[in-house]
Chains A and B, each alone.
Chain A
Amino acid sequence: MNGAVEVVRAGALTTVQDAGRIGWAHLGVPRAGALDAPARRLANRLAGNGADAAVLETTVTGCAVRPDRPVVAVVGGAPCRVTVDGRPVAWGTPVRVPAGAVLDAGPAVRGLRSYLAFGGGLLPEPVLGSRSADLLSGLGPAPLRDGDVLPLGQAPAGLPGADAVPWPGAPAELVLPLHLGPRHTWFTDEALRTLTTAEYRVSAHSNRIGLRTRGPALNRAREGELPSEGMVLGAVQVPPDGRPVVFLNDHPTTGGYPVVGVVHETALAGAAQAVPGTRVRFVCAGRDAGRSGTGATPLP
């Protein structure tokens, strides 16, 4: 047996996440996976795991677990107070947790989501090749509850090479580089100017499905419903209220509201850590050269 961790305090919303469920979007299966992918990779590396091992992703209030074997653990992502049996230990670096001791990742001091990686990784049953919880369609392990037990993988041989690395902080201002399209022509020129010049704020209604915003509404140049079409990670969908929503990992695979642009994937880790009220700026990353065709629509 490789041991297990027992959930002592599940926190507001703690889920198991790995690199996600890739390759099933055509069946309506969201990708899921850790929202702050660089933090997941870094925590795993420090714990001596492969980058894609399954970790815990907390939301705002942290969580606490008790391993039944000694384990190397790393708490990264959103900074927080970390203790082992009540004794403070380092955040963001590997710590040894004895068998039966309680590792507690406290509420996030900055940012929203902390990541707990364990040497050997977490091994709940995979679904379609991933151990990630998908909160849109309910695939994968359910959000943690007190008393849940999660199996651990075999502890990696030897100690991880790195012991301290720089972690990016939560953004004071969230700058999102935006590639226009595919449906920017559904919006007025004024709306496109508004999007890239006005100040938006992260809405408290954001979740793993999307980062919702508060700010000026974007007016459409054409009305009507968009026949359902495929959606990508980072798509900025504009629902009828006109406030852009940035699709995160649990986003629906198809949607019927127009996507004005797509945020560059590397900016989404910041979106995962931006607390409600954070200023959001969409900056134009370019009008892509992808457009091509024999259709009648001219280049905008």
Chain B
Amino acid sequence: MSTGAGAGAGTGMGASAGAGASAGSGGHTGAGIEVLPAGPGALLVELSCGEHAEAFHAELLRRRALGELPAVREIVPGARTVLLDGIADRTPDGRARLARELASWRIPALRRDTGETVEIPVVYDGPDLADVAAAWGVTVAEVPRIHAGTEFRVAFCGFAPGFGYLTGLPEHLHLPRRATPRTRVPAGALALAGAYTGVYPRPSPGGWQLIGRMPEPGGLWNPAREPAALLSPGVRVRFVAAEVRS
């Protein structure tokens, strides 16, 4: 990050370990949806789990595309939340109405098998590969097979432009951050922590487990390109092993 003086930017790579997406289910009703105020122009919708939040976000985008959502400037998914910021109707009544409506939605189960898919070529040769293999109880050679065989989905973005928090690993493969964060993780590092996988778009400090690298990380983020981000919320991701050194 260009500033070490971030104002307590608590996001870091610090999304909590074990904020696990639950197994798919048959859809969610209003139960477990809580709508919290976030100032006069925003609402923060909190869901029961990560999977529910992804499903709610997908439903928001679907309804917005159909023109069924009141005007909002930003829809920002988080680990277990979706923020609606820049609500055009800033009156307390307007916001309360929207809050009630959001809380009443019936949310279809998340479809992980639809939507745009991107493939990211990676080399599985990260310094934490052996530790990850040990924690997963598999051989080092099996880690790339398991990881590249997983269908990922961008749950949310943050930390830096181009960084996506990818879900898809089953809960028994979720690992904590490293006890001691590294002062410098190179651009392109392929990493795991908690429920998430991600690729560092630029060099930065970081505490995730490094299992490999994307040889050409410039493809993750290019503001001169349309779209600027390879990974935006809802996009499906597959990692393709370009070469494995063991």
Contacts and interface: CB of A to CB of B under 8 A. Distances in A.
Interface of A: 22-29, 127-128, 135-139, 179-183, 205-207, 209-212, 224-232, 234-235, 237, 239, 245, 247-248, 251-257, 259, 261-265, 287-295, 297
A235 B78 CA distance: 16
A254 B43 contact: no
Nearest to A247: B7
- Residue with the greatest number of chain B CB neighbours at <10 A, chosen from A23, A25, A181, A293: A293
A207 B8 CA distance: 12
Contacts of B34: 291, 293-295, 297
Q: How large is the interface on B (under 10, 10 to 19, 20 to 34, 35 or more residues)?
A: 35 or more
Interface stretch (B91-99, B114-122, B211-219): B91-99
Contacts of B242: none
B103 A209 contact: no
A209 B19 contact: no
Interface string B224-236: 0000110011000
Contacts of B136: none
B74 interface: yes
Nearest to B61: A26
A290 B16 contact: no
Nearest to A125: B224
Contacts of A248: 7
9 contacts: A27-B232, A181-B37, A181-B44, A212-B7, A228-B10, A248-B7, A251-B9, A256-B12, A289-B95
Question: Shortest 6 CB-CB distances between A and B: which pairs?
Answer: A210-B7, A230-B83, A262-B39, A288-B37, A239-B8, A227-B79
A263 to B, nearest CB: 8
B42 interface: yes
B31 interface: yes
A287 B40 CA distance: 10
A27 B40 CA distance: 23
Interface in B52-91: 73-83, 85-86
A27 B157 contact: yes
A170 B223 CA distance: 36
- Residue with the greatest number of chain A CB neighbours at <10 A, chosen from B1, B11, B92, B161: B161
A127 B226 CA distance: 11
Contacts of A231: 83
A209 B161 contact: no
B11 A256 contact: yes
A271 to B, nearest CB: 12
Contact of A254 (B33, B78, B103): B78
Contact of A136 (B3, B36, B83, B223): B3
B39 A229 contact: no
Nearest to B224: A127
A28 B99 contact: no
B149 interface: no
B29 to A, nearest CB: 8
A39 B223 CA distance: 29
A254 B158 contact: yes
B3 A209 contact: yes
Contacts of B32: 294-295
B233 A26 contact: yes
- Residue with the greatest number of chain A CB neighbours at <10 A, chosen from B3, B82, B103: B3
A252 B11 contact: yes
Contacts of A24: 161, 228
A232 B7 contact: no
- Residue with the greatest number of chain A CB neighbours at <10 A, chosen from B10, B78, B102, B232: B10
A258 to B, nearest CB: 9
Contacts of A179: 37, 39-40
Contacts of B159: 28, 252, 254
A227 B78 contact: yes
A225 B79 CA distance: 12
B33 A136 contact: no
Given A28-B158, A28-B159, A237-B10, A256 B15 contact: yes
Contacts of A229: 44, 78-81, 83
A230 B223 contact: no
Contacts of B163: 28
B246 interface: no
Nearest to A227: B79
